[in-house]
Structure 1
């Protein structure tokens, strides 16, 4: 879950919370500043996303959710910027009174998103059928070899949920065909910015993360029979092929 944040691991395990100003200086997010969320900041009347577009990320002190959000901004700024730009475009068009399907999709990915890259199309077909045994058990070697892999854990709420050791986590995924993590992240950022992804929450593929070989300590066959976690596909559910973006 946290492998991509090894260089800032001290911020997550320190005995004391990092000060928001010190966190901003440490992370140096391109074009953005972490500012402590207080009454004075909120008095500007701006929507959270509109404030970010002006360069300020409202951050609550001593808060895991906002700490993880800051870490994701620093690690994947292009994806975060694309999400913010799309949210602001919808806010400008629709106002803040309601939420469009696109805004719901953008928010779900921001909170619980995972980017997965796939080389073997058979693994994608198994995933789309929710054939979990085929994807995780029979397909274990594909995960170990990198033929299918998590390129990025993006959702900061998902990271917060991972603090509870018994929580069985489900990521909401965007999929890229390819074999390079950085390129997959770049492709997703570009596609979001262009409006080619995240126009509806139904575009997101659910992935029970604890099913990935090595992500849980008890991955016997009985574990994979837990239908409350490894859920069958709903009748009529289909995942659009447009989410599979060729790299390069």
Structure 2
């Protein structure tokens, strides 16, 4: 995988707070890939095949499985097979397929429906664009309503300072595989596109089932997400223990000013 260099999977810090829901599944697979210099699709497929009773909507193969000129999303929908490159991006994508099988299958179904309706265009249509944003950079937040009110208002001081104790009742689970890849080298400006989940979601399996039903073309076309600088989450980054961490307006941006006449 590393072509004689350092395997990028060895750089993943599985003790990072954002990877806690992923550690039990992901760390042994990463260790196996590093120890045996194994292809990413092979270690993912070994996990997919290890529990025949689990719902596994796809299998994993090498990138060469994807025929030239065929849309990646359409191929997965038709063949139930995920072409996989030997890199961190596709490793995390495979973990999401394994951890969120119902939600990923639903997302892929909507992508295929959009391709069937509009074809593959140079610029994605609004539904495919929204689905891709969440697939690459999304997260699910189960939180008390005051946190959500502050997040939607981009009232960062209230969200992270005044309401800080409420984060003990919240659960933020990453979904976007590109976001997980970027967080291998965390930087303060990194932002997740967050979708609201009910408070009662007490496991990843529950979130998976709920998310698969919550993805609807008529509502997702409008990108029902809230931007969240993830390293501002209490307990996720040591520096945010200081209130002035949130004074950086380049990261914790104020809400956009409505244009004149808009919304009237």
> Quick check: TM above 0.5?
yes
SS in 2 for 1:2: helix
Higher mean C-alpha displacement, 180-189 vs 208-217? 180-189
Query: Residue 96 of structure 1 corresponds to which residue in structure 2?
Result: 120
SS in 2 for 1:218: helix
Query: Residue 211 of structure 2 corresponds to which residue in structure 1?
Result: 188
The structure-2 alpha-carbon separation of the partners of 1:43 and 1:149, relative to structure 1 and needing over 3 Å to count, comes to closer
Q: TM-score, normalised by structure 1?
A: 0.85
Query: Partners in 2 of 1:127 and 1:22 — Cα distance?
Result: 38
* Structure 1 runs (4+) greater than 6 angstroms displaced: none
Does the 8 Å contact 1:136/1:213 carry over to 2? yes
Please, what is the CA RMSD of the aligned residues?
1.9
Query: Residue 232 of structure 1 corresponds to which residue in structure 2?
Result: 254
Does the 8 Å contact 1:114/1:173 carry over to 2? yes
CA deviations over 1:75-124 (Å, ceiling 9, x no partner): 001110011000000000000024111110000000000001123x2222
CA deviations over 1:44-88 (Å, ceiling 9, x no partner): 532101111121101012x00000000110000111001100000
Query: Residue 244 of structure 1 corresponds to which residue in structure 2?
Result: none
Query: Residue 14 of structure 2 corresponds to which residue in structure 1?
Result: none
The structure-2 alpha-carbon separation of the partners of 1:43 and 1:110, relative to structure 1 and needing over 3 Å to count, comes to same
Query: Residue 179 of structure 1 corresponds to which residue in structure 2?
Result: 200
CA deviations over 1:192-221 (Å, ceiling 9, x no partner): 1x43542133x2110111111111111212
1:25-104 matches, cutoff 5 A: 25-28=46-49, 30-38=56-64, 41-43=65-67, 45-53=69-77, 54-61=79-86, 63-97=87-121, 98-104=123-129
Shift of 1:33: 1.1
CA deviations over 1:108-153 (Å, ceiling 9, x no partner): 000000001123x222211111111111111111111x1x321x21
Query: Residue 114 of structure 1 corresponds to which residue in structure 2?
Result: 139
Structure with higher helix content: 2
Shift of 1:7: 1.7
SS in 2 for 1:116: strand
Paired residue total: 228
Q: TM-score, normalised by structure 2?
A: 0.80
Match of 1:211 among 232, 235, 238: 232
User: Structure 1 regions of 5+ residues with no counterpart?
Assistant: 238-248
Does the 8 Å contact 1:31/1:55 carry over to 2? yes
The structure-2 alpha-carbon separation of the partners of 1:185 and 1:116, relative to structure 1 and needing over 3 Å to count, comes to farther
User: Structure 2 regions of 5+ residues with no counterpart?
Assistant: 1-17, 50-54, 260-264
Query: Partners in 2 of 1:172 and 1:10 — Cα distance?
Result: 28
